[in-house]
Structures are given as structure tokens and as C-alpha cells.
């Protein structure tokens, strides 16, 4: 049901009390605005116009009534009750009548009641004038006539009564001598004129007014902008609230949205509301999950941020971010966050820790779910159990704790003679020899954040950023790591933990945000007010959290050397260097902020950009690092460097090269084309509409300035800054950017040059240091302290294993199946074969795109021989980076940047359903494959001819003889994949596992997984060995693709109708006249791969048998954590797969995997994944601190946990509540966030190519919704007996050695060294 705005709710309340002649106008108003809702505005405009006309009549009536106010004032004393009645007005407030900022005089006096007409009694309060805090030109005059809230949390609610019923004990307020506002006088007069004598004349007059307005609304469709009674544009009116002052409210043209900044009166908290047009214009799915058709309406977003200034590197801001979500006053469950993951329709649910703020954002497309998420987060941050005595365990679980090495599941030490779990041992049964240090158990560190940061510190690129920031900011809080240094985290005490929360988690130090429609805004304001008002104002929390500027204090640049953990064989190479500058020491203007974004693009935005190109062409290193501009904090920085430097001398050479390149740019400047290209690219990205999470982008973007007490609006608007920057560039040209380089980079000594050098021994040294740290701490413990740690460990394990009571579980917010749309999300699509007799298939998607055309052109590549497919990535790289016959790489890329929003080439290798399986959901054979090269681009409507011109040049004229460009690209790509092994090992493990069960998956692993490291290294060798021959191979490949049969090509267009019309006209010329046709040697028709096996299948199957000689593999990398994967086949090829399988997999991920592997054993992430396409299920961990064999043992308990839940009725109690929760969570993940126009068009194309029908999607959804306990049993039994079970683990070599020594488990360990794969069979 659509909610009314605050203004409308209060208006209705007053109208109800007057009982006007046309019946009950409030009920009619609700019928027009609430029951029919905004949707009726479009479907039944007559009903909507009638309701609007009545509202307008009411406004006109009270204005008319003001004409006799002076006569009435002289004879009647008017007393009003204490209730705030808002009326929007542009008038300045009259002195003495500003109840929005008024203080109530609590000296109440009894006075004789004066009877008003129709027995209406009004009580009056004393109002004291205060200055308005609002800076907006739109002022709100208010009349207090009753309590507007449903609670009495604040002083403003004291003494509130309803309307007088004539009782003698009713308290009244003495009338003070102040001048009423025009609206007050009008309202009193309306009541006066309702006396019987004057009812007839009023009835006649108001009838005429009402009929006039109805006539105007009936004959006016709103198209006449001069009509004074037309409906205001969406978002044109801000939302008022009695507990907040409006600081600023403006309609932001850049986003077609109203942006309103409020300040909470009781606490000073600031609240930003974002109301986009689409929340009124597109009205679907307010009360469902987002299914039932394409709905581009943005997701509803709520967020709250606290400025959290770290005072050490213990990671307390980060640990608190995790901890506050572990139960609260209203939601006492151990983990409401996990419960929301299990069973909400959230499209975003997370939290972030920045160096100076902690942010808690949520999003959903379902209104009821959105309000649940909002309430859970508000209660979590303001009333967390983690800082109370009852939450003693949270710091130990989420932060850090001592665990006993080799302890049983219940935390005890020694032989576990009980059955699984053994969680009922009494603490008295634990006997340790406390009188002897020798007999003490060995400790180790555990904790979710501790594990997360061990993984983060294992990534060299992340490490160099963290150390650089510490060195660059020696005098302010940025020198500390807010995420936590693993070496320092164990020094955090509970007292420091609680103190940090109390210091910074106060409403006065908070910034809140909501994106939605007006009712969402009002609800969010009210909800936040209920939590914040009782906490009062605390100026110290905001003052203490202020971030001070780091001054430029370096007399000369700082140079530092630090080690990082390297893989075996890389100790003599793999150096890294990054130079980081401090850019500003005071706030910068919006224009200069945008200028820095443009300069960053000029320097590093493209492979052809001068700084990027200079570094890559130098051959000093493998790839560029640093990321360039970072403007997310109080002070911006600029970083640039390289990794993969071969020797120590290259470090100095690289630093010299960087500075020389900057000096050259200072001298020569940038060309007009360079600047025009970067400006257009940035402007296009600013203007292009985002997807459903646009509100999230607004919130996080606003915090970049809002967090430092600057205007959030200025952080996100860009039109004025863009205009000023264009004018400045027109006036000075490149001089602006040359001056910026000279003053902030070249002449700026406040910079850090940080070198990381490889150390093969560092990993072992860190492990030894950690053991020494633990042993030292343990040696200083008294017997009592030691025993307390043992006891608390047992208590923690026991608590984690304990099932929560039904009352606690019921406290978690929940939805019902009725909240879910039963229809799947469908995107518009129209398919036309042989478009314009070109032989090419045309696919159209008509969606609102704001005048932007999205074009995708696909070409079949199945004719490429299997032994040549490793070169496809090289062809794609050149299509993306090389120049043409007439333009070099920089000129061509500038041309693309000037006329389009971007053009790129990519390769797609995907499964397709066999013919006749469109409506079925079966495990695919894996031999029906599509392999296509796509050229994708976007542009404004007027640039569509230019876009297709770029397509033509990319396909036909790119200069393949570009050795340096290709070498640089392949080298950077290989370096990036090697780095991903360290921080995304779970992804490589999953790809490696699935590659064993399907040809399609094997091809994906070969081209993008661990195997691609080998093939990429081989291609690099071929480039250097015989470049001329290599170019000939690429040229033959391109010609074969371009001259392929037209029935293997597809053109995909997405946009508004007029965009599609314009695009099709140009597309016809491109397809018919521009693409070459070899009439002398026409290509054979492209096979229908839904009916024919792909030609790569047979050789791939042969290679599969050789590639996976062992089912159990390990990949050794330098890391302090592990990524463990295990999987197997659960369904055979051709077997029907029920949608319920997704529900049980989701249940495992958010239940057993979360509770046992993450919470109890400290892994940062743990997942259950299932694919109905290949019938394979996998278990994976992310940044796992445990030895791999420990985690594999925990995997073995997953299936049994489901069966145990069935046996204990945990799934079926409370009317199958747990199953319903899992169903809702699965649907939420399936539907996801609203897609951008480009993403919607691409998703529809992929569905079309896959051969999936609407019927199959509906069947899959129905099966999800009808999941039963029998489906859980079936899925668990399949896991227990899954076939061809295999293991893939990414971990350190020492972890594999420890695993082997503990279990004797044989793994084929693959060691990555110097880009060459070596195999070591561990016995």
C-alpha cells in the first residue's frame, strides 16, 4: 500500500475532524492517494484528479478564509492544542510563530475554557521564538495542534493531549501575545465559519470552487506547463518532519531528483534524502521482490555512517563494523545479519570500514523488506549487544581470540570420546596442569577480522598501499590501519573496544541517507528519530572524530624498503616500486576536484596515456600499479609505480623514468585531442544513468565530502564544475594540467617512494614471530588468566553450538511467500532474423536509456582451430589497444573517447541448450557451445554513425603489427592473474574443480583459470621468438572471423524507441555495405550448435584426460591464509534439476558454512555453490586460517547438518519457517538489483543465446517456491554420495606440508614460479 507523505497525513487528520459537507473527505482522499495509489494515477487518472482537486479545494478554501481574520481576532481568543500541522509555504516565518524551532514553556496555567463553534475546544501553548537553522529558501510555518508521534521519547512530546473532550482535568497553555501566521488565521477562520448560520454560504462558495477545480483537472492533461493547477513534477516537493530542520532542499537536474538535507533537532545528526523521478514515474514492485517483468526503478537504499578516527592499528573500527551486527537490543539473535542473508530480498547488505569512517548501507526493491533492513541496522548500530556484558563473546568471535591448537569441537583439549560435537561437557570436567607451564596447551590466534587481514596483508599490492599511507601521513590518524594490522590486532582489549564504540557511535557523529519515494523518506526520518532522540546531543563525539589535515612537512621525499612474501624461486626478482604524493592540505573547489579526475585520465586512463605508456614501454616491470588518483578521503593522493621489476637496479631506474615523464608533460603538455577525449569520456560516465544501486553511489559519493562537515550536495553535483572546467580549458588549454603537474607532483616533496622486495623466507618468519608473540603472552599469564582463556573458549564454542530459542528466532524480521512476485524478471526482447536481408540476426530491447544507444556486435569464432584458441586473447588485446592504418594507438583511442562512451572487444564462450530443451531445466551435456567475439559500445543518439564507424575500424583496420602494445598487454594480464591467485584463490579453486566435469567448464579454466597462466606465458614466448610469424597467425584469424558466414553473426541493440529507430537505420548500412563478403570463396554456414557438437569439443576432451591426472590438487602461493575447495557431481547429464536445489545450497551457505566455518573457525568467507547447468556442487572457503585438512573435515559435516535439521524438526517447526526463509533468500539472490539499460539488454541477449525460454524460468521459480523438506533430504543425500569427488586448494607450500604430515593425504601440488608452472608430487 502506498504511504502518504507527512503533510498529507496531517492534513487528513485535520480534515477528518471538520466533517466537511462532501462527506468524509479524508476517506475519499485515502481512496484516491492510498488505496489506488500512485499506480492509479496512470491507470485511472479521473480518480486521481478528483482526489487532487479536493486537496486543491481545501488549500484554496483556507486561503480565502483569511480575508476576515482581523474581525475574528478582535472578538475571539484562539487556543490550539499541541500538535504540529505542517503547511508548505514560501513565505518567511512571522516573528513569534516558528514552532519548528520553538521551545515549549512548561509553566502550564489553568484558564477558563472558551467554547468555540460546534463544540470544538482548542488548548494553547506558549511558544518561544528561536531562529531557524534552515538555510533553505523554502520555510515551513507550523501550527502545533496535537502530538504527531506515537511515542513519548523526547521532551517535545510532554503534555500532549488529544482534542479536548470538555473534561475539567485537561491541561491548557496560556495564550501568549504573538501574531499568528496567515495559515493559522486561515485555519481558525475555517472552524469559525462552520457555524450553522454560515454553513449555507460556505457550502455554495466551496461547491463552486470544487467544481471549477474538477473541471480544470478533467480537461487538462498536464501538458500545459503554464497551468497553475498542474501536478508538480516528481520529487519537486520535499518531505517535512517535525523532528528535523530542513537545511537544504533542491531539485538536482543532474539526477532528476530532489536532494534534501535535514538536521535532527535532538541530536544534530544529519540526514540526506534522495528522491529520484523514477520512484514516481515507474511504479512497479513496491511490494514484491522485483520479479514479474523489467522494472528499471532504482532500489530503495538506506545507510548510516559514523566518522571513526583510528587511534592505533588494532583494527577496532573494522572489528566494530563486524561486531555491531551480531545481535542488538531488539534483535537479540547471535547474528541478525546472517539471518537477513538467509531470508530477505535484499539487493545489497554489507558494511565498509574506511580509514576514517564506517558505513552501514542496505538496499532492497521490496518496501516491507527495506523497512526491516533499516530497522535491523539502526538497532544494531545504536543498541549492539557486543558492547554489553552479554555480548562478551562477540569480540572473540569477530575480532581475535586465543584458541587451543588441536582442541576438540567444544573447545576442550584431549581425546574426544564423545560423538560429533561433544558440546555438553561441563567446565568442571576440564583438568589442565595449571601448576606447570610445561603442561599448558599451545595457543593460536583465531577471529574473522584477524583472518581477513592476514589475507589482505598477503597481497603485495594491497600491502604497498597500506604502508605508503602510513608513511605519507605521519601526523594524523591516517598513519594507522583502520582495518587492522595482524601483528597489532591481538593487542586490542575489550575496554578499548567498548570505549571506541561509546566515543564515536553516537547520533551526533552520524550521517544518515535514504533513497526512495516520499513515503520511504518520511518512514526513514521517523524510524531514525525513534532511535536517536533518547540519546540526546553529544558535541564531543563529532569534535573528537574530526580529521585534521596532514601538512606538507617533508623537506625531501621519503624512500623506504620493505619485504613481502614471495613464492619459491622468486627471491631474486619481482621487485615493486610505488610513488605516492599528498595532493592537498586544504579543501579544494569542485572544479579542481573534477580537474584532477581529468588529469588522472590523461595520465593513466588508457594504455596509450603518456605515463602508462612510458612505464609499459620501458620493459622495466610487468604491469603498472598504484591506481592514480584517490579522492575518497579528506586529502587526496596520487600513486603510480610498477610490479615485477627484474632486479634491484630497476627500482631506481623506474623512479627516474616517472619523474622524467612528468617533467616532459609539464614542458610539452597535452594535445587538444587528448583533453577532448578524456573530457568526453568522463562527462559521458557522469551523465549515464546507473542501475538499481544509484542511491548507493550517491550515498558513498556524498560521504567523500560530507564526512568532513562539507556539503554532501557539492560532492555529487557536477554541472557547474564541468561548465567552469570547460571554460578554463577553453581559456588556458593544456596549461591548467601542466600547472597541476608542476605544483602538486614535480615540486611537491611530500611524497613517499616505497620499494617492496621479495623474500622467500618472510612467510615462515611471520609464522615464527606470531608463535613467539603468543608464547610470550602466555608466559606472562597467571594460572587464573590462563584458565579463564580456556574456560571462555569452551563457553564460546558451547554458545556457538547452542540452538537459539524460538522466541529469539521469532524476533528476527521476516517476510512471507506472499511478499514474493511469482513471476520471474523478464526483459523486453524482439528478434528479427536476416535483418535487412543481411543474413545477420537482429535483437532489439526497447528500454528507457536517456537517449543512449548500446550496441553489441557478435561474430562466431568456432572456425578457429583448437590449437590456436590461446591466441584469441591476443587478438582481443590488439582490438582494444592498437591503432589503425591511419591513426596510431593514442590517436585512435582519443577518437573513440571523443565520439563514444567507450568501445571494447571481449570473448564469450558459453553453453547453449540442446535443441528441444528450451523449456527444460536439465544438466547440459557440455558439448553444445557458442564461441563468439563481441564488439561492444555505447554513445548518444547523434553519435550512432560515429559508433558504427569505430566498429568498422576495430574489426577491419586495427594494426595487428603492434608488438610492444601486445607484449605490454599480455604481460600485464598475466601479472594480474598471478596476483589474483593470492587474493581470489577461491575463484581459481572453483574454476579448477568445475573444469573436471564439463568440456565447457574445461575451456573456461583453460582460457581464464590457473591453466591460462601457462598458455599466456607460452604466447609471450612466441611473441618474442618470431613476431612476423605471430602477426601472420593473428591476421589469418581475423580474416577467418570477419569472413565467417553471416548466420553466425548477431547485432544487439538496446535503447529508447527513437534510439533504436536511429540505430537500425545506420546498422543496416553497416551490415549490408561495410562488412566484407568473400563472394569468390564464401564461408560455409555456421552450424547450429544447439544441434551440433562444437568443433573444439573432441580435442578438449582429449586434453582434459591429460590435464587432470590427479583429482586432488593444490596450488602453492605465498599467503598466510588458505582457499579450500571441494566438489563433485550431484546430477548426471540429462537429469532434471529442480529449482529447490538452489534453496538448499543457499541454506547451507548461510547456515552451516556461515556458523561452523566462518563464526566458529574464523574463515572470512565460506560458501556452498551449485550449478544446474553442469550438475556440480562445490564447497569453498575464503581467507581461511585453518590448515586445509581441518576445513575439508568440516565440509564433510555439511550434508549431515541438513539431515540433522530434518530429524530435529528445525526445518519444519513454526509452519516450515526455516524453509520459507531459505526460499525468500534464494528468490532475492535470483532477482537481484534493478539492472541498468545496458545490463538489461545484455542479460536478455545471453538468455536468448542460451536457449532458455520464459517457461523454463517460470518452472524454475515455481520449484523454488514449492520447496519441501523432502527436497532438503534429497540434496543432502546427493552430497553424501557425490561422484567423482575432487579437491582444489590454494595455500602456502608450508600449509600443504603440514597437511601432509598430519594426514598423509597425497596432493599434486602446483608451484607457480617465474610464470612457469612446476609440479611437485607431495607424498
Q: Which residues are catalytic?
A: 321, 398
Q: Can you name the residues that pair with 911 across neighbouring β-strands?
A: 929
Do the Cβ atoms of 1147 and 342 come closer than 8 Å? Answer: yes
Do the Cβ atoms of 193 and 66 come closer than 8 Å? Answer: no
Distance of CA 808 to the CA centre of its chain: 29
How far apart CA 400 and CA 322 sit, in angstroms, is 12
CA dihedral angle for residue 867, residue 868, residue 873, residue 876, rounded to 10 degrees? -160
CA distances from 345 to 243, 288, 516 (A): 30, 9, 16
Q: Can you name the residues that pair with 86 across neighbouring β-strands?
A: 142
Of the CA atoms within 13 Å of residue 265, those in its CB half-sphere come to 21
Do the Cβ atoms of 1175 and 1127 come closer than 8 Å? Answer: no
How far apart CA 582 and CA 592 sit, in angstroms, is 15
Helix (H, G, I), strand (E, B) or coil at 1142: helix
Task: Provide the b/e sequence for 1032-1048 (b: ≥16 CB within 10 Å).
Answer: eebeebbeebbbbebbb
Task: Provide the b/e sequence for 1143-1172 (b: ≥16 CB within 10 Å).
Answer: bbbbbbbbbbbbbbbbbbbbbbbbbbbbbb
Order of strands across the sheet that contains 751-759: 558-565, 751-759, 575-582, 637-645, 623-630
| DSSP letter assigned to residue 1136 | B
Do the Cβ atoms of 1055 and 847 come closer than 8 Å? Answer: yes
Do the Cβ atoms of 240 and 249 come closer than 8 Å? Answer: no
Q: Is 1135 exposed, middle or buried (0-12, 13-18, 19+ CB in 10 A)?
A: exposed
Helix (H, G, I), strand (E, B) or coil at 1153: helix
Of 543, 498, 513, nearest in space to 377 by CA: 513
Within 10 angstroms of residue 1079's Cβ, the number of other Cβ atoms is 6
Helix (H, G, I), strand (E, B) or coil at 66: helix
How far apart CA 1227 and CA 1223 sit, in angstroms, is 6
Q: Is 1110 exposed, middle or buried (0-12, 13-18, 19+ CB in 10 A)?
A: middle
Do the Cβ atoms of 758 and 570 come closer than 8 Å? Answer: yes
1112: phi then psi, degrees, rounded to nearest 5: -115, 115
Q: Cell for 674?
A: 587528448
Helix (H, G, I), strand (E, B) or coil at 718: coil
Neighbouring residues of 912: CB distance < 8 A, sequence distance ≥ 6: 928, 929, 930, 1089, 1090, 1249, 1250, 1251
DSSP string, 1192-1255: HHHHTTHHHHHHHHHHTTTTTHHHHHHHHHHHHHHHHHHH-SPPPHHHHHHHHHHHHHHT--HH
Distance of CA 718 to the CA centre of its chain: 22
CA dihedral angle for residue 99, residue 105, residue 111, residue 117, rounded to 10 degrees? 10
Task: Provide the b/e sequence for 400-436 (b: ≥16 CB within 10 Å).
Answer: bbbbbeebbbbbbbeeeeeeeebbebeeeebebeeee
Amino acid at each position: 500500500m502506498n504511504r502518504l507523505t507527512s503533510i498529507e497525513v496531517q492534513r487528513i487528520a485535520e480534515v477528518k475532524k471538520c466533517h466537511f459537507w462532501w462527506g468524509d473527505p479524508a476517506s475519499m482522499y485515502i481512496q484516491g492517494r492510498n488505496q489506488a495509489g500512485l499506480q492509479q494515477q496512470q491507470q485511472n487518472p479521473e480518480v486521481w484528479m478528483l482526489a487532487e482537486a479536493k486537496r486543491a479545494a481545501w488549500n484554496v478554501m483556507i486561503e480565502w478564509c483569511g480575508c476576515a481574520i482581523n474581525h475574528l481576532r478582535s472578538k475571539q481568543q484562539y487556543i490550539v492544542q499541541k500538535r504540529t500541522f505542517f503547511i508548505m509555504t514560501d513565505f518567511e516565518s512571522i516573528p513569534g510563530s516558528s514552532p519548528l524551532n520553538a521551545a515549549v514553556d512548561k509553566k502550564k496555567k489553568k484558564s477558563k475554557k472558551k467554547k468555540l463553534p460546534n463544540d470544538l475546544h482548542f488548548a494553547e501553548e506558549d511558544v518561544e521564538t528561536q531562529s531557524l537553522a534552515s538555510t533553505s529558501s523554502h520555510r515551513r510555518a507550523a501550527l502545533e495542534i496535537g502530538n504527531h508521534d506515537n511515542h513519548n521519547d523526547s521532551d517535545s512530546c510532554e503534555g500532549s493531549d488529544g482534542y479536548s473532550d470538555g473534561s475539567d482535568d485537561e491541561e491548557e497553555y496560556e495564550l501568549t501575545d504573538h501574531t499568528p501566521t496567515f495559515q493559522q488565521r486561515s485555519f481558525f477562520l475555517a472552524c469559525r465559519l462552520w457555524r450553522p448560520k454560515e454553513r449555507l454560504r460556505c457550502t455554495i462558495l466551496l461547491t463552486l470552487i470544487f467544481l471549477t477545480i474538477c473541471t480544470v483537472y478533467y480537461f487538462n492533461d498536464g501538458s500545459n506547463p503554464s497551468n497553475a493547477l498542474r501536478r508538480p513534477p516528481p520529487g519537486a516537493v520535499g518531505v517535512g518532519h517535525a523532528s528535523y530542520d530542513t537545511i537544504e532542499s533542491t531539485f538536482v537536474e543532474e539526477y532528476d531528483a530532489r536532494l534534501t538535507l535535514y538536521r535532527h533537532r535532538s541530536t544534530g545528526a544529519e540526514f540526506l534524502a534522495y528522491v529520484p523521478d523514477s520512484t514516481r514515474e515507474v511504479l512497479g514492485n513496491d511490494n514484491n521482490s522485483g520479479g514479474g517483468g523489467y522494472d528499471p526503478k532504482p532500489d530503495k537504499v538506506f545507510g548510516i555512517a559514523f566518522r571513526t578516527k583510528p587511534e592505533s592499528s588494532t583494527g577496532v573500527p573494522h572489528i566494530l563494523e563486524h561486531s555491531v551486527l551480531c545481535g542488538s537490543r531488539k534483535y537479540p539473535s547471535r547474528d541478525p545479519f546472517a539471518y537477513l542473508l538467509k531470508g530477505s530480498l535484499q539487493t545489497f547488505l554489507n558494511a565498509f570500514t574506511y580509514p576514517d569512517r564506517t558505513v552501514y548501507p542496505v538496499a532492497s526493491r521490496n518496501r516491507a523488506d527495506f523497512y526491516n533492513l533499516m530497522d535491523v541496522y539502526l538497532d544494531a548500530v545504536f543498541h549492539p549487544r557486543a558492547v554489553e556484558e552479554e555480548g562478551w563473546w562477540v569480540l572473540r568471535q569477530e575480532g581475535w581470540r586465543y584458541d587451543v591448537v588441536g582442541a576438540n569441537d567444544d573447545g576442550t583439549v584431549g581425546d574426544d570420546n564423545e560423538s560429533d560435537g561433544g558440546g555438553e561437557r561441563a567446565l568442571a570436567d576440564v583438568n589442565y596442569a595449571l601448576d606447570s607451564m610445561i603442561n599448558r596447551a599451545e595457543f593460536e590466534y583465531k577471529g574473522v577480522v584477524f583472518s581477513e587481514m592476514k589475507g589482505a596483508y598477503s597481497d603485495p599490492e594491497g600491502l604497498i598501499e597500506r604502508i605508503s599511507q602510513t608513511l605519507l601521513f605521519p601526523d594524523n590518524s591516517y598513519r594507522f590501519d583502520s582495518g587492522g594490522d595482524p601483528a597489532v590486532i591481538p593487542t586490542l582489549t575489550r575496554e578499548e573496544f567498548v570505549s571506541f564504540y561509546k566515543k564515536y557511535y553516537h547520533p551526533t557523529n552520524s550521517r544518515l541517507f535514504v533513497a526512495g519515494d516520499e513515503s520511504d523518506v518520511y518512514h526513514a526520518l521517523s524510524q531514525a528519530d525513534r532511535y536517536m532522540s533518547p540519546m540526546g546531543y553529544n558535541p564531543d563525539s563529532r569534535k573528537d572524530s574530526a580529521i585534521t589535515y596532514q601538512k606538507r612537512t617533508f623537506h625531501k621525499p621519503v624512500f623506504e624498503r620493505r619485504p613481502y612474501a614471495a613464492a619459491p624461486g622468486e627471491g631474486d626478482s619481482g621487485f615493486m616500486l610505488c610513488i605516492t604524493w599528498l595532493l592537498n592540505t586544504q579543501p579544494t573547489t569542485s572544479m579542481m576536484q573534477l580537474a584532477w579526475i581529468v588529469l588522472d585520465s590523461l595520465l593513466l586512463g588508457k594504455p596509450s596515456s603518456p605515463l602508462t605508456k612510458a612505464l609499459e614501454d620501458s620493459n622495466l616491470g610487468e604491469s603498472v600499479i598504484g591506481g592514480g588518483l584517490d579522492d575518497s578521503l579528506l586529502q587526496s593522493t596520487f600513486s603510480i609505480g610498477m610490479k615485477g621489476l627484474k632486479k634491484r637496479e630497476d627500482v631506481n631506474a623506474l623512479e627516474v623514468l616517472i619523474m622524467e615523464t612528468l617533467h616532459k608533460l609539464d614542458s610539452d603538455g597535452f594535445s587538444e585531442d587528448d583533453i577532448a577525449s578524456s573530457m568526453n569520456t568522463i562527462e559521458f560516465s557522469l551523465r549515464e544513468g546507473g542501475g538499481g544501486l544509484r542511491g548507493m553511489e550517491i550515498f558513498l559519493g556524498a560521504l567523500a565530502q560530507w564526512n568532513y562537515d562539507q556539503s554532501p550536495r557539492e560532492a555529487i553535483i557536477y554541472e557547474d564544475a564541468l561548465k567552469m572546467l570547460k571554460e578554463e580549458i577553453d581559456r588556458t588549454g593544456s596549461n591548467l594540467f601542466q600547472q597541476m603537474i608542476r605544483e602538486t607532483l614535480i615540486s611537491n616533496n611530500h611524497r613517499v617512494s616505497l620499494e617492496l622486495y621479495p623474500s622467500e623466507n618472510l612467510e615462515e618468519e611471520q609464522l615464527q614471530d606470531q608463535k613467539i608473540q603468543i608464547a610470550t603472552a602466555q608466559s606472562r599469564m597467571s594460572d587464573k588468566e590462563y584458565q579463564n582463556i580456556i574456560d571462555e573458549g569452551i563457553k564460546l564454542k558451547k554458545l556457538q553450538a547452542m540452538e537459539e530459542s524460538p522466541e529469539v528466532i521469532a524476533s528476527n524480521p521476516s517476510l512471507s511467500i506472499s511478499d514474493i512476485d511469482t513471476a520471474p524478471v523478464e526483459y523486453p526482447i524482439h528478434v528479427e532474423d536476416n535483418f535487412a536481408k543481411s543474413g545477420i540476426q537482429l535483437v532489439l530491447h526497447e528500454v528507457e536509456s536517456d537517449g543512449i544507444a548500446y550496441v553489441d556486435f557478435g561474430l562466431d569464432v568456432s572456425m578457429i582451430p583448437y590449437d590456436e584458441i590461446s591466441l584469441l586473447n591476443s587478438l582481443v588485446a590488439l582490438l582494444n589497444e592498437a591503432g589503425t592504418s591511419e591513426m596510431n594507438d593514442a590517436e585512435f583511442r582519443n577518437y573513440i573517447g571523443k565520439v563514444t562512451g567507450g568501445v571494447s572487444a571481449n570473448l564469450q564462450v558459453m553453453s547453449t541448450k540442446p535443441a528441444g530443451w528450451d523449456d527444460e531445466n536439465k544438466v547440459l551435456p557440455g558439448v553444445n557451445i557458442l564461441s563468439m567475439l563481441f564488439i561492444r559500445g555505447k554513445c548518444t543518439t547523434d553519435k550512432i554513425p560515429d559508433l558504427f564507424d569505430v566498429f568498422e575500424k576495430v574489426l577491419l583496420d586495427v594494426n595487428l603489427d603492434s608488438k610492444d602494445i601486445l607484449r605490454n598487454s599480455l604481460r600485464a594480464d598475466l601479472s594480474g592473474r598471478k596476483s589474483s591467485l593470492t587474493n581470489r584463490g577461491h575463484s581459481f579453486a572453483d574454476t579448477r574443480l568445475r573444469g573436471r566435469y564439463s568440456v565447457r567448464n574445461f575451456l573456461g579454466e583453460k582460457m581464464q583459470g590457473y591453466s591460462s597462466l601457462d598458455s599466456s606465458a607460452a604466447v609471450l614466448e612466441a611473441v618474442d621468438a618470431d613476431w612476423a610469424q605471430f602477426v601472420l597467425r593473428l591476421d589469418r584469424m581475423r580474416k577467418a572471423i570477419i569472413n565467417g558466414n553471416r548466420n553466425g553473426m548477431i547485432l544487439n541493440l538496446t535503447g529508447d524507441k527513437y534510439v533504436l529507430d536511429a540505430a537500425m537505420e545506420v546498422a543496416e548500412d553497416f551490415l549490408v555495405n561495410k562488412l566484407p563478403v568473400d563472394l569468390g570463396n564464401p564461408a560455409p554456414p555456421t552450424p547450429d550448435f544447439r544441434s551440433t557438437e562444437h568443433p573444439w569439443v573432441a580435442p578438449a576432451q582429449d586434453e582434459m584426460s591429460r590435464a587432470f591426472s590427479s583429482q586432488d590438487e593444490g596450488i602453492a602461493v605465498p599467503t598466510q591464509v588458505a582457499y579450500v575447495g571441494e566438489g563433485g557431481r550431484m546430477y548426471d547429464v540429462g537429469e532434471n534439476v529442480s529449482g529447490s536445489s538452489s534453496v538448499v545450497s543457499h541454506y547451507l551457505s548461510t547456515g552451516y558454512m556461515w556458523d561452523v566455518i566462518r563464526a566458529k573457525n574464523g574463515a572470512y568467507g565460506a560458501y556452498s555453490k551449485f550449478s544446474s547447468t553442469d550438475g556440480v556442487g562445490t564447497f569453498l572457503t575464503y581467507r581461511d586460517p585453518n590448515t586445509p585438512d581441518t576445513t575439508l573435515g568440516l565440509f564433510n559435516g555439511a550434508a549431515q547438518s541438513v539431515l540433522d535439521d530434518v530429524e530435529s524438526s528445525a526445518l519444519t517447526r513454526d509452519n516450515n519457517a526455516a524453509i520459507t526463509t531459505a526460499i525468500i533468500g534464494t528468490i532475492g539472490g535470483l532477482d537481484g538489483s534493478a539492472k541498468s539499460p545496458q545490463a538489461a539488454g545484455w542479460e536478455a541477449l545471453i538468455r536468448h543465446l542460451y536457449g532458455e525460454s520464459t517457461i523454463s524460468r517460470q518452472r524454475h521459480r515455481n520449484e523454488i517456491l514449492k520447496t519441501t523438506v523432502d527436497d532438503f533430504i534429497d540434496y543432502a543425500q546427493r552430497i553424501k554420495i557425490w561422484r567423482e569427488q575432487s579437491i582444489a586448494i590454494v595455500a602456502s607450500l608450508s600449509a600443504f606440508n603440514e597437511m601432509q604430515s598430519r594426514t598423509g593425504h597425497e596432493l599434486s601440488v602446483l608451484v607457480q614460479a617465474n610464470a612457469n608452472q612446476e609440479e611437485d608430487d607431495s607424498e
